[in-house]
A and B are shown apart, each in its own frame.
Chain A
Amino acid sequence: MVVTFIVPLPTALYSLLAQWNVFLFFFGMMLIAAIADLAGFFDWAGTLAAAASRGSGRLLLLNVFVVGILISTFLSNDATALILTPVVYAIVTRLGLPVLPYLFATTFIADTASMTLPISNPINILMIERLKPSLGTYASHLLLASLLVIVINVAVFAFVFRRTTARRFRFDWRPALKEAVPDARFFRSTGIALALIASLYVTASAERWPLGLVATAGGLGLALIARLHGRLAIPRVRQHVSGSLFLFIAGLFILVRGVEDTGLTAALVGGLAQLVHGPVTAVVVGIAGTTIGANLINNVPMMLVVLSGLPGTHLAAGVQQPFVFGALVGADLGPNLTPVGSLSTMLWLLIVRRRGIDVSTLDYLRLGALVTPGMLLGAAITLALTFR
């Protein structure tokens, strides 16, 4: 876009600078998760879930959900999907339990619990940057929907995997907890700091402070704690804080800006807007549009397209908010429908198949088809009721 002058360089740079809060949020979120992982927080949480299950595979599934919900809500869906998932994989493998139910539980709940707070999903930050709703407005529309979809997700899983998880296991949790936490003092300091960051997130959302600043300050504070305890391992932190993610997001911003200038995003959102005849249809169209889009081009670019095209459409003031909240629900929950939410993932799937690794995509598709429509419907009804 920049090389072909579709988006002039100054415009591209301005577009990126205007998104400083989003970039800072991504950076802070990854840094927080990295230091928490260094302190053994995720291993500790997974081990605690296993310990509290008292040898019951079914109870472990519920406890994995509880841990996933808390981590997604306060540390983002990214932390659950990327860090908690491999932790849970290792724990259930060691316990001799079937891996897939627990693996699916963490990956599904990462998205399902990502509407709870504005900081639970970076996509929420994109929406908040544009619409700037108060925490009260956000919660009044999404909290109940969020709780409902979590209940649906857990209930469907408990039913579907009732046989597979009906196993007992032996778990010597004391040495496992000790092994999970390499430095007890560092772990305690990190735990206190994480609680502080979580409360700061809520305060910042309520006061409409830039969440990127809070995340980055929190991440740097945690890094300082790690440094003071002599535990700051830069190579390990760098494995979590991905430079290519920033390039990906920056590229998306510029790409969407270029497409926006052609009027394509406005036309797309305008096409959706024509189907809107009131707050209820606005919610439904918003959810359906981004759910389909998230499963075609990935949820981050889809939400960017919606937010970019919004100013060019003629949605009435009374339906704009229901439409955007609906779009957010679709972008947050929609990816649970299929594992192939983007072109890059589909390419990845082909590559691993060539390597001889068999991915049970059909299992995921079946589960997604079973749980996601119910969640989307429940969220649509609950959200629509808040706009009546």
Chain B
Amino acid sequence: MRILLGIDGNDTKGLLNELATLVPLEEQELLLAYIHDTGARGEMDLIRGRFPGRPLPVDRLDRIGAAERARADGILEDGERAAHGLARTVGVHVDAGEPGRVLVTIATERQVDLVVVGARSETTTVPAGPRSLGHTARFVVDHSPSPVLLLRHSLDASPKRG
């Protein structure tokens, strides 16, 4: 079985452990996908748009790109390390865009059998109810071509130490 797990750097180990308790992973192909959310970048450009005539200088764009790559590399390295030995194979995928949409596209293109996402990207547990799903999880649930496993992500209520 091919499993796609969306990660965002927020307690990847906890997500993997929770997944492993629900699905025996030893014989599965696990694909960890980190999608850099371009919404914030668009937001920044929107604000800057109020001040006419000055696009971001090239060197600043380079630094932002380097920061985004460093973040993606760090998250995927941590994820790969945490997933090591849990599944038959562990692959990684990095992309950019709106995370929900991109995860659904990957699931379609790679014909995965199961898509796994956290309910919300929060540092504290959100009780079940109308606001318990983040927009990424909501989009994946609504549009995924494959079955979706939603992890309620039993995180500590206290802030984590990194």
Contacts and interface: CB of A to CB of B under 8 A. Distances in A.
Interface of A: 55, 57, 78, 81-82, 85-87, 89-91, 93-94, 96, 98-100, 103-104, 107, 163-164, 166-170, 236, 239-240, 242-245, 247-248, 298, 335, 339, 341-342, 344-345, 348-349, 352, 356-361, 363-364
Interface string B54-68: 111111100110111
A78 B52 CA distance: 10
B94 to A, nearest CB: 14
Given A57-B159, A94-B67, 16 more contacts: A81-B51, A86-B44, A86-B63, A90-B60, A93-B71, A99-B37, A104-B43, A168-B161, A236-B59, A239-B58, A240-B54, A242-B54, A348-B46, A348-B49, A358-B38, A359-B42
A100 B162 CA distance: 20
B47 A240 contact: no
Contacts of B37: 99
A335 to B, nearest CB: 6
Contacts of B49: 344-345, 348
Contacts of B161: 168
A171 B121 CA distance: 22
A244 B52 contact: yes
Contact of B50 (A168, A170, A342, A356): A342
Contacts of B57: 236, 239-240
A169 B54 contact: no
A163 B124 contact: yes
A356 B41 CA distance: 12
A339 B47 contact: yes
Contacts, number: 138
Contact of A94 (B39, B48, B52, B70): B70
B44 A245 contact: no
Given A93-B71, A167-B160, A349 B46 contact: yes
A107 B47 contact: yes
Contact of A245 (B53, B64, B121): B53
Q: For B45, B68, B124, B162, which residue has the most chain A Cβ atoms within 10 angstroms?
A: B162
B26 to A, nearest CB: 30
B46 A361 contact: yes
A169 B48 CA distance: 28
B9 interface: yes
Given A236-B59, A360-B43, A82 B48 contact: yes
B77 to A, nearest CB: 12
A85 B48 contact: yes
Interface residues of B, number: 44
Given A86-B60, A236-B59, A167 B46 contact: no
Given A240-B57, A242-B53, A345-B49, A100 B43 contact: yes
Interface of A (DSSP majority class):
helix
A90 B60 CA distance: 9
Contacts of B68: 93
Given A163-B123, A168-B160, A359 B67 contact: no
Q: For A55, A91, A103, A240, which residue has the most chain B Cβ atoms within 10 angstroms?
A: A103
A335 B50 contact: yes
Interface in B58-108: 58-60, 63-64, 66-68, 70-71, 74-75, 97-98
B122 interface: yes
Contacts of B67: 89-91, 93-94
Contacts of B123: 163-164, 166-167
A335 B50 CA distance: 9
Contacts of A96: 9, 71, 74-75, 162
